[in-house]
Amino acid sequence: MLEDLLQIFYPRTYTLGNGKTVREKFNPLPYVVIAFIVFIIFCANFTGVNFKVLMEKGHNFFDMLYKMIPPNWGYWKTMQKAMLDTINMSLLGSVFGCLIALPVSFYLSSNFKLNKTYLVSHRFVLSLLRTLPTLVLASFLRMVLGIGALAGTLAISVFSYTICVKMMYEYIETIDMGAYEALQSTGASRLKCIISAVWPQVKGYFYSTFLYCFESNVKSAAILGYVGAGGIGLNISGQLTLRKYGNLGMVLLAMMVTIMVLEAAARYARRKLVTG
Amino acid sequence: MSAYPSIEQQYKKYPKTWVQFIIYAVAAFLVVAIWNYTVEFEGYTERGFSIIGIALKGLVTPSWAVISDLSSSGLLYMLFETFAIGFLGTIFGTILAIPLAFISSRNIAPRFVNLVCLTVITVIRSFPSVMYGIMFVKTVGPGAFAGVLTMTIGSVGMLAKLLVESVEDIDPGIVEALDAAGCNGFEKVRYGIMPQLSSGIISNVLYRLDINVKNASVLGLVGAGGIGAQLIFAIQDRRWSDAGAMLWGLVILVLLIEVISTRIRNALAGKD
């Protein structure tokens, strides 16, 4: 039994009838699994993961939720501007970001055989920008543009731009170039070729990317208020500091309803736009 | 003659683009209206644009004091903490998401259970992760543990939603065949179900790891560990070269994870 268990870690050797010995193929999986588990435990120690604390204090989390349960409906009047700002910021940001991204992504896809240096350098800058969270971008832009929704909108635009360009150029590279070449052979200009041969193929994907950006931006716009870039985030942190859980419950409820409605609408619109 | 429509008939069949044009015009008008309603230039000052130059100078000359500092306020410590929060959040999230995905799939649990679980998943997904960060910091106290819990909740929502789709696509024929061959329950799961799910699970988990490490870098703002607090304070205090060092560290970390996970996912999908 113990022998069998140990044999997991090193390959068995067999002696064949003709006296030759053969070894099984070495299987690294057990070592990988052990290293993985050791790494998880190391990380857990590093970050101070402690399930005892969670068991003891976990009820605080639900206590907080219970305190929010009758949401303070009157608070809606105070927060409605911030809530609408949040939605508007993400809508505007997605629209601007994706609109600029559309022509650029044609430029950045390698199947049009444009300037190679430009393509590589622009893609590199984009992947650097993409790694920055929206909040960091917003806190930087806030220093430049001052407190208000403008900084948040711009941050969201930049973020949508980077995401949309990446998704679009990866998709454009997979399309069928036959129609494009056919139009080129009739002597049409490059712009005309793109409009009538490439755009119909990528149209649906572009709309769906836009909707995806819009959806995820509403969530990130909700926290931009933390760094003073407009939106509902300021209300969340403010009401939490004042321990007004009823008001906080109202904010959370409004956010939940907004995001659910947007998700449902986006799913409906995607079905309509992409297929029909 | 009648077999082929004339040019006029063909033109009449052409889709009416003016409807689309009106939709676009209305949408553009709405965007401009919202722009006027929301965005105010009140906070703008002339001084703002002089900041850009100073900031960019700081970003290209990162502070070596921060980079070479190996203590708990140094760059490497904070980066590893950020990574550990994202990594553990992904692992714990996966462990919780797999059973949740199974009981919310139509082909495994009864319809009533599905609906309850799917509602829970949707509710979990509809809050931004920083909100959970605030609540967990209040629950278990500030520190990286709160960050791990936050990332766990965030991952459960998304992973469960994605996994439900792959669980519902399981081909029951394979399990039936194993059943007919006389396999026991464990063997049916190991050879009938796991091979169908594993590549989907791994690629979703890697994708989520990407997102989690990126999200973990802003959690510091609410006191849940990671690099975020130091980074945003450095930006707000205009210590640009410190901010530059941290930004470069973060960019390299996220890019590295993205490159590795994309490579593994492509290998799993059978692309070269």
Sequence length of chain A is 276
pLDDT along chain A (276 residues), means of 10: 73 80 80 90 84 80 81 80 83 89 86 80 86 83 79 89 89 87 88 86 86 85 79 78 82 85 82 67
Tens of pLDDT along A235-259? 777 777 787 888 888 888 888 888 8
User: CB–CB of A198/A261 below 8 Å?
Assistant: no
DSSP B125: H
Residue in A139, A240, A243 to test binding to B, most B beta-carbons within 10 Å: A139
CB contacts < 8 A, A to B, total: 166
Across the interface, whether the CB atoms of A260 and B147 are under 8 A apart is answered no
| ipTM, interface predicted TM-score of the complex | 0.79
Task: Answer whether residue B105 shows pLDDT above 50.
Answer: yes
Closest residue in A to B210 (Cα–Cα) = A131
pLDDT at residue B43, as a whole number: 53
Across the interface, whether the CB atoms of B88 and A43 are under 8 A apart is answered yes
What is the number of other CB atoms lying within 10 angstroms of the CB of residue A144?
A: 19
Residues of A in contact with B91 (CB under 8 A): 40
- Position with higher pLDDT, B147 vs B226: B147
Dihedral angle at the C-alpha atoms of A238, A242, A245, A250, nearest 10 degrees? -30
pLDDT at residue B93, as a whole number: 92
What backbone phi and psi angles, to 5 degrees, belong to B9? -60, -40
First-last CA distance in chain A: 63
**What six digits make up the tokens of A269?**
């619109």
| b/e code B34-59 from CB counts within 10 Å (16+ = b) | bbeebbeeebbeeebeebeeebeebb
Residues of B in contact with A85 (CB under 8 A): 38
Across the interface, whether the CB atoms of B91 and A40 are under 8 A apart is answered yes
pLDDT at residue B45, as a whole number: 60
Q: Domain A72-275 is classified in which CATH homologous superfamily?
A: MetI-like (1.10.3720.10)
Residues of B in contact with A64 (CB under 8 A): 135, 138-139
Tens of pLDDT along B250-260? 888 888 998 88
- Percent of chain B at pLDDT above 90? 6
Best CA proximity match to A119, nearest among A127, A107, A135: A107
pLDDT at residue B39, as a whole number: 61
* Calpha distance B83→B89 (Å, rounded): 10
pLDDT at residue B272, as a whole number: 47
- The whole-model pTM stands at 0.81
Tens of pLDDT along A114-123? 778 888 888 8
What is the number of other CB atoms lying within 10 angstroms of the CB of residue A65?
A: 13
Q: Classify A21 as helix, strand or coil.
A: strand
Across the interface, whether the CB atoms of A88 and B218 are under 8 A apart is answered no
- Is the backbone of residue A187 left (phi > 0), alpha (psi -120 to 50) or beta? left
Type and span of the H or E element at A13: strand A13-15
Across the interface, whether the CB atoms of B126 and A260 are under 8 A apart is answered yes
User: CB–CB of B234/B180 below 8 Å?
Assistant: no
Across the interface, whether the CB atoms of B40 and A148 are under 8 A apart is answered yes
Tens of pLDDT along A128-160? 888 888 888 888 888 877 777 788 888 899 999
Across the interface, whether the CB atoms of A46 and B52 are under 8 A apart is answered no
Which stretch, B1-15, B67-81, B143-157, B212-226, has highest mean pLDDT?
B143-157
Type and span of the H or E element at A23: strand A21-23
* Calpha distance A197→A179 (Å, rounded): 6
Residues of B in contact with A145 (CB under 8 A): 43-44, 48
Across the interface, whether the CB atoms of B44 and A54 are under 8 A apart is answered no
Across the interface, whether the CB atoms of A135 and B251 are under 8 A apart is answered no
- For the B68-268 domain, the top CATH level (class) is mainly alpha
**Which residues in chain A are classed under CATH 1.10.3720.10?**
72-275
The CA angle B208-B212-B218, to the nearest 5 degrees, is: 155
| Rounded mean pLDDT, B211-236 | 82
- Position with higher pLDDT, B16 vs B211: B211
Closest residue in A to B145 (Cα–Cα) = A49
| b/e code B192-218 from CB counts within 10 Å (16+ = b) | bbeeebeebbebbbbbbbbbbbbbbbb
Tens of pLDDT along B87-101? 999 999 999 998 888
| Nearest CB partner across the interface for B145, out of A49, A147, A219 | A49
Residues of B in contact with A48 (CB under 8 A): 143-145
